[in-house]
Chains A and B, each alone.
Chain A
Amino acid sequence: MRPLVRWIAAVALPLAVPAVITGALWILPGDPAEIICPPGICTGREVLSARWGLDRGPWGFYTTWLGHAVTGDFGNSWRVAQGLPVRDLVLESLPATGQVVALAMVPLVLGMVASAAGWLPRRADGVWQFVGLIPSVILALGFAAVVQIQFGAASNEGLPALLRVVFAALVLGVADGALADAIVGTRSTFDEEFKQRYAQIATLRGESMLSNALPNVLPALVGQLRARVLAVVSGTVVVEVVLGVPGLGELLWSGTLLQDFGVVLAAAWAYALLSGALLLTQAMAEVAVATWVRAAPPVPERSP
């Protein structure tokens, strides 16, 4: 049942996000065209209204925007990078965010594996939890100061740029309790499973508890991993801006601050697609594990 709910949610997310934004635009007081294109900030409201179907009500706007979005047409930016296609801005920013997220997952996955294998002493939990108390913005601030002092404000290429990405990943992988939750969460999942009768019988038979319990805890671990990826992706907004990494989070923040609605909607939709993909991955992993666990074990042939 759960994988089915996830499949449905994965498909619904990219449709629901623009729908909710559209609903909010029409519920809030004022003309939606003025919210999207505030007077004094952008010009050509009539042209914009006609292009995006704002003059045809919420359904007209929703279907027009979604119809363009599936073909990769998000229009042009009117403040972040005036006149440039939003699609190009999003595509340019994706690699940096991809690098940050992939690198941030390294300490988290290592922490989960080490915790599952019992390589990390329980006494060290306090250390991870203490480090996890540091908010990401504070840790990112410290690293930003280090880069700026060492390389100067205009240090956006070569080693400084690489350092910014590495530091951003480190912040997302450690701060806000990320690493502590990965380690302690994995351990407590296994601890619960090890209390099961079958796991204790496996010990008596001289088998590894880990290999016996792993198939049963995998769905829970995959769920935890998805939550961590989502938290890391969400955290990129703050960390990329503080450390000056030109990624999707930075683009979204610039769009919000400068009230560039086209950029914000496109970036939010990109995040919704990513979340949907994560949900699909989790659902597929759950189905695969269930199939693996339920597969009938091979029965050895009896000798006559």
Chain B
Amino acid sequence: MMAEARPARGPAIALAAVLFAGLAVLAAVAPEFVRTPDLSARYLLPWQSPPFGTDDRGIPLWEVAAQGSRIVLVPAMVAGALTAAAATLAGVARCAGWSWLDTGLQAVGELVGSLPRLVVVLVVALLIPPTWKSLLPIAVVWAFLAAPGAMDEAATTAGRLGGARFVEALKAHGFSAARILLYHVIVLNLRPVLVRQAAEVGMQVVFLEIALSYLAVSRNEPSFTHPDSGYSWATLLYQGYTAALGEPLWHAMALGVGLVAAVATLSRALRAAARAR
């Protein structure tokens, strides 16, 4: 049987690093407020107003893209880290033979995993005070809801390794419990699962922000993922939608879709970079 061809990890790591650095730089240079609308400079194309042109009010699109990047970057990373932490706990519980924790996590996972995520997110969005208007609480809730799936996969992976018997076998070889759990179980065995789940949840948080902001923008209402002074990537997509209806804003659509594609590619690249040898 021929071995399945796998993409090399080196290019995936390089691609992930470049894309992440690009988004981070964009977030870092984001202005606090976008420029005052200038109707004499509206609908400018990228070569008329580098690098991305302007929108229907003359606001440079790069400022909108940068603000959108700042809105999503930290919450997406926090959500990914929380999911990975929950998955690590489940994997370690399976390997350490803590059956009470293992059973408890399964029961909680069953209950939490049964909730429609977006419904819970909307209820949370309704309840959080307007002064806390940010993507972060929503991202944390999303991570909590996504955790059961990640925990289940991590526990299964650890179980496939041999669970508590694997740890006992390594202890017999003289390794300390801390080294076995931190290095052999988490770094060597669970790493692909943890990185994949974290990348997936991070990407989902970005798409969630776009979806929620888009729905608000399309109804001319303030979004609950960021302050009213900020602009989300959803604004670019909404302008792109108006392009389909006749407005000369195809460059906004291209930028919005390009940013979404960059996030999706980053997620895929991270998965490829962290896959098992």
Residue ranges of A at the interface with B (Cβ–Cβ < 8 Å)? 5-6, 9-10, 12-13, 16-17, 21, 24-25, 28-30, 35, 133, 135-138, 141-142, 144-145, 148-149, 176, 227, 230, 233-235, 237-238, 241-242, 249, 252-253, 255-257, 259, 261, 264-265, 267-268, 271-272, 274-276, 278-279
Contact B218 A257 (CB under 8 A): no
Cα distance A230–B120 when bound, in Å? 13
Q: Write the chain B residue with the least CB distance to A250.
A: B215
Q: Write the chain A residue with the least CB distance to B261.
A: A133
Selected contact of A271 from candidates B111, B119, B237, B240, CB within 8 Å: B119
Cβ distance B198 to chain A, nearest Cβ, rounded Å: 16
User: Which residues of B are found within 8 Å of A9, using beta-carbon distances?
Assistant: 107, 110-111, 114
Cβ distance B260 to chain A, nearest Cβ, rounded Å: 6
Contact B245 A148 (CB under 8 A): yes
Contact B116 A12 (CB under 8 A): no
Contact A149 B264 (CB under 8 A): no
CB contact under 8 A between A264 and B122, given known A9-B114, A136-B211, A138-B257: yes
Contact A135 B210 (CB under 8 A): yes
Interface residue count on the B side (C-beta < 8 Å): 38
Is B177 interfacial (CB-CB < 8 Å)? no
Cα distance A75–B276 when bound, in Å? 55
Contact B211 A267 (CB under 8 A): no
Which residue among A30, A149, A235, A271 has the maximum number of chain B CB atoms within 10 Å of its CB?
Answer: A271
CB contact under 8 A between A230 and B123, given known A141-B237, A257-B216: no
Residue ranges of B at the interface with A (Cβ–Cβ < 8 Å)? 106-107, 110-111, 113-120, 122-129, 207, 210-211, 214-216, 218-219, 221, 237, 240-241, 244-245, 257, 260, 264, 268
Contact A256 B125 (CB under 8 A): yes
Selected contact of B114 from candidates A13, A25, A144, CB within 8 Å: A13
Offer 5 A-B interface pairs, CB within 8 angstroms, sorted by A.
A9-B107, A135-B264, A137-B237, A235-B118, A275-B116
Cβ distance A193 to chain B, nearest Cβ, rounded Å: 15
Contact B119 A237 (CB under 8 A): yes
Cα distance A274–B116 when bound, in Å? 10
Cα distance A237–B122 when bound, in Å? 9
User: Which residues of A are found within 8 Å of B111, using beta-carbon distances?
Assistant: 9, 12-13, 16
Cβ distance A230 to chain B, nearest Cβ, rounded Å: 6
Cα distance A164–B251 when bound, in Å? 27
Cα distance A268–B124 when bound, in Å? 11
Cα distance A238–B122 when bound, in Å? 11
User: Which residues of B are found within 8 Å of A144, using beta-carbon distances?
Assistant: 241
Cβ distance B217 to chain A, nearest Cβ, rounded Å: 11
CB contact under 8 A between A268 and B123, given known A137-B210, A230-B114: yes
Q: Write the chain A residue with the least CB distance to B149.
A: A227
User: Which residues of B are found within 8 Å of A261, using beta-carbon distances?
Assistant: 126
Which residue among A135, A233, A249, A278 has the maximum number of chain B CB atoms within 10 Å of its CB?
Answer: A135
User: Which residues of A are found within 8 Å of B129, using beta-carbon distances?
Assistant: 28-30, 35
User: Which residues of A are found within 8 Å of B244, using beta-carbon distances?
Assistant: 142, 145, 148-149
